[in-house]
Amino acid sequence: MSAESTAESNSAEDNVAGEPAGSDVVRIFDTTLRDGEQSPGCSMNTAEKLEVAKALVDLGVDVIEAGFPIASPGDFEAVQKIAQKFGDQTTICGLARCRPEDIDRAAEAVRDAELKRIHVFLATSAIHREFKLKMDKDEIVRRAVEGVQRAKESCEDIEFSPEDAARTELDFLCEVVEKAIDAGATTVNIPDTVGYATPAQYRQVIETLRQRVPNIERAIISTHCHNDLGLAVANSLAAVEAGARQIECTVNGIGERAGNAALEEIVMAIRTRFDHYGVRTNIDTPKLCSISRLVCTVTGQSVQRNKAIVGRNAFAHEAGIHQHGILQERSTYEIMRAEDVGYVGTNLVLGKHSGRHAFRDRVAALGHSLDPGAFEQVFADFITLADKKKEVYDSDIVALIEDRIGVVEERWQVVSFHTSAGSGSIPTATIELKDADGEIHCDAATGDGPIDAVFNTLERIIGIEARLDSFEVRSVSRGKDALGEVNVRLAALGRDYHGKGVSTDIIEAGMKAYLKALNAADAEKASGRQIAEAAQPARGV
């Protein structure tokens, strides 16, 4: 039976969210930009968040939790811009504590979205009540109800989360959920905040809510599972078996501590095991790998090679017996097709004589849509690369696209560079950079090796001292002339920055990566200067 035919056979009884009760659609609520961003080292700027939001819309997620607007002006701005830009295509959600100021700020941030949601949360477990919130059960219920009611004044679509639900006494959880629905919640999310649940136990929590909460059919039951014991995906799927119809998850499973349930794993488990779950999602699965790589690029955090669905080895077969089986019949060792998740292999592609039409087709087939300006830049990079390299692969094109992602304003650009190194000589770099006003700055420095010398020279010209925390280099495709990709992470001006660069010359790739990170630091330094200047009383008036 196809997913579509099952969808048609649903019961017609509607809940207040307009979804048929017992619907076979599992909504994907993506929280990469909120819980994912809470992961150490994963913070993103507004331009990067907009880039990820666009990819999430293209992927087909049902809800984007774009941030926690009260947390900072930057968070507010990102949620507001995402709401303005994408709020007519998918639901944009802002998170709020059960506090009037949080709820009003979240309401303001999502106001311009046609499809909007406010997500209010309050912890309900005994540990959180006693030690964190210092509230008794009555106060929790009162604050939860007041929070939902206040949110309801500015938005129809309200989600309520009893934080740490999986460790909450079941009787009390049922009471809070019932009152939150009566107050107007259209989705009730049951978080396993600390990743403590097991699949059987979590399944039982959802079943109990469905049996004991009299108004439960008026809301969608949602999951939000953390991965502290590596059970986030298994727990989310167990909840689907029990009737949950929204899953909160993040791309690559990033998030607080060990992370959240990984979106790509949830989606492919539901799709691949339709025979078991009998439900479907709205996700365009061939875009899974490209969004995974996008999130790696903007956060500077790569996924491990053996990561399910999106890891480099997810469809690689090394052992002879497996290769033999695959050659006879693919399904002997593969339960899904690489093309169904947009896995980028090493297909030989285009050459320097290829035109824009063929290149645009290939970019689309790789799961990317570029605006005309970015397309022209990537096409120019491709022609330059095809001139240098005998064979250009899909993975090279992906690297070129990602090299352009998140590049908003490059305050400093390379005009030329030269390095010298070798035994018996002192490694030296000489670099010319152009600043935002077009002025050329040239300097030279030495280092422990040519890369160190390049980094020291960049710091001297830009005037920012940085500490290099990590430097990773990998080959993007095969062959000695392969593109090298360098990822750096550095600390400067009290913050962490990361950058990625690609080139067939790994010294140049390292320079591009370090410059991207220093450009981001310098942009923040400049905006800090502007704020400080604006705060000064005007002089000479």
Asked if 38 touches ligand ACO (CB under 6 A), the answer is yes
What is the x/- site pattern for ligand KIV, positions 206-225, by CB under 6 A? ------------------x-
How many of the chain's residues bind ligand ACO (CB under 6 A)?
A: 15
From candidates 29, 76, 86, 121, binder to ligand KIV by CB under 6 A: 121
Q: Which does 68 bind (CB under 5 to 8 A by kind): ligand ACO, ligand KIV, none?
A: ligand ACO
Q: Which span (78-86, 186-194, 432-440, 475-483) binds ligand KIV, by CB under 6 A?
A: 186-194
Residue showing tokens 């009037």: 100
Is 317 a known ligand-binding residue? no
Burial of 380 (0-12, 13-18, 19+ CB in 10 A): exposed
**DSSP characters over 25-41:** BPEEEE-TTTTGGGSTT
Residue 307 near residue 252 (C-beta atoms within 8 A): yes
Distance CA 36, CA 214 (A): 34
29 touches ligand ACO by CB under 6 A: no
Half-sphere exposure of 255 (CA within 13 A, CB side): 29
Can you tell me whether residue 381 is helix, strand or coil?
Answer: helix
The smaller minimum CB distance to ligand ACO, of residues 15 and 250, is found at 250
Q: Does 97 bind ligand ACO (CB under 6 A)?
A: yes
**Shortest distance in whole angstroms from residue 252 CB to ligand ACO:** 17
How buried is 182 (Cβ within 10 angstroms: 0-12 exposed, 13-18 middle, 19+ buried)?
middle
- Joined together, the tokens standing for residue 539 give 């002089």
Residue 128 annotated as lining a ligand binding site: no
Min separation Cβ 159 and ligand KIV, Å: 9
Phi, psi of 112, rounded to the nearest 5 degrees: -80, -5
Q: Do residues 272 and 317 make contact, with C-beta atoms less than 8 angstroms apart?
A: no
The smaller minimum CB distance to ligand KIV, of residues 252 and 477, is found at: 252
Q: How does strand 484-492 pair with strand 495-503?
A: antiparallel
Distances (CA, A) of 266 to 26, 159, 413: 10, 21, 41
> Under 8 Å CB-to-CB from 141, ≥6 apart: which residues?
175, 176, 179
Among residues 238, 136, 152, 228, the alpha carbon closest in space to that of 190 is found at: 238
Q: Is 505 annotated as a binding residue?
A: no
Whether 35 has a binding-site annotation, put simply, is yes
Residue 160 binds ligand ACO, judged by CB under 6 A: no
Question: Binding residues for ligand KIV, how many (CB under 6 A)?
Answer: 9
Does residue 104 touch ligand KIV according to CB under 6 A?
no
**Is residue 162 near ligand KIV by the rule CB under 6 A?**
no
In Å, the largest CA–CA distance within the chain is 83
Which of 121, 160, 202, 412 binds ligand ACO (CB under 6 A)? It is: 121
Answer with the entry of ligand ACO, ligand KIV, none that 224 interacts with (C-beta below 5 to 8 A by kind).
Answer: ligand KIV
Smallest Cα–Cα separation from 122: which of 137, 104, 111, 110? Answer: 137
Q: What per-residue string of b and e applies to 404-441 under the rule 16 or more CB within 10 Å gives b?
A: ebbeeeebbeeeebebebeeeeebbbbbebeeeeeeee
Nearest distance in Å: CB 179, ligand ACO: 15
Residue 269 binding result from ligand ACO, ligand KIV, none, given CB thresholds of 5 to 8 Å by partner type = none
Give the residue nearest to ligand KIV (CB): 191
> What's the closest the beta carbon of residue 44 comes to ligand ACO, in angstroms?
14
Q: Residue for token digits 């039951």?
A: 221
Question: Binding residue for ligand ACO (CB under 6 A) from 3, 21, 71, 242?
Answer: 71
* Beta carbons of 72 and 105 less than 8 angstroms apart: no
Which stretch, 94-102, 335-343, 371-379, 509-517, contacts ligand ACO (CB under 6 A)? 94-102
Separation between Cα atoms, residue 522 and residue 412, nearest integer Å: 9
Rounded to whole angstroms, the Cα distance separating 402 from 48 reads 12
Question: Integer distance in angstroms from the first to the last C-alpha of the chain?
Answer: 77
Member of 31, 125, 168, 193 binding ligand ACO (CB under 6 A): 193
Nearer to ligand KIV, 161 or 487 (CB): 161
Taking CB under 6 A as the rule, does residue 375 contact ligand KIV? no
Q: How far is the C-alpha of 58 from the C-alpha of 251, rounded, in Å?
A: 14
**260 contacts ligand ACO (rule: CB under 6 A):** no
Q: Which residue is nearest to ligand ACO (CB)?
A: 97
Partner in contact with 159, chosen from ligand ACO, ligand KIV, none, beta carbon below 5 to 8 Å by kind: none
Q: Rule CB under 6 A: is residue 133 a binding residue for ligand ACO?
A: yes
310 part of the interface to ligand ACO, by CB under 6 A:
no
Q: Three-class SS string for 41-96?
A: CCCCCHHHHHHHHHHHHHHCCCEEEEECHHHCHHHHHHHHHHHHHHCCCCEEEEEE
- If one asks whether residue 70 binds ligand ACO (CB under 6 A), the answer comes out as yes
Q: Determine which residue in the list 91, 193, 285, 477 makes contact with ligand KIV, applying CB under 6 A.
A: 193
Stretch that binds ligand KIV, among 86-94, 185-193, 276-284, 370-378 (CB under 6 A): 185-193
User: Least Å distance between CB 485 and ligand KIV?
Assistant: 33
Q: In the sheet where 467-475 sits, what is the strand order?
A: 467-475, 484-492, 495-503
- When asked if residue 163 is in the footprint of ligand ACO (CB under 6 A), the reply is yes
Q: Kindly state whether residue 68 participates in binding ligand ACO, applying the rule CB under 6 A.
A: yes
> E strands along 202-263, which residues?
220-225, 246-249
Tokens (6 digits) for 217: 């059919």
Task: State yes or no: residue 248 binds ligand ACO (CB under 6 A).
Answer: no
Binding residues among 74-103 for ligand KIV as defined by CB under 6 A: none
* Binding residue ranges: 35, 224, 226, 260
| Annotated binding residues for Mn(2+) | 35, 224, 226, 260
Residues of the shown chain interacting with ligand ACO in the complex, contacts defined by CB under 6 A: 35, 38, 68, 70-71, 97-99, 121-122, 132-133, 163, 193, 256
Binding site for ligand KIV (CB under 6 A): 35, 121, 161, 163, 189, 191, 193, 224, 226
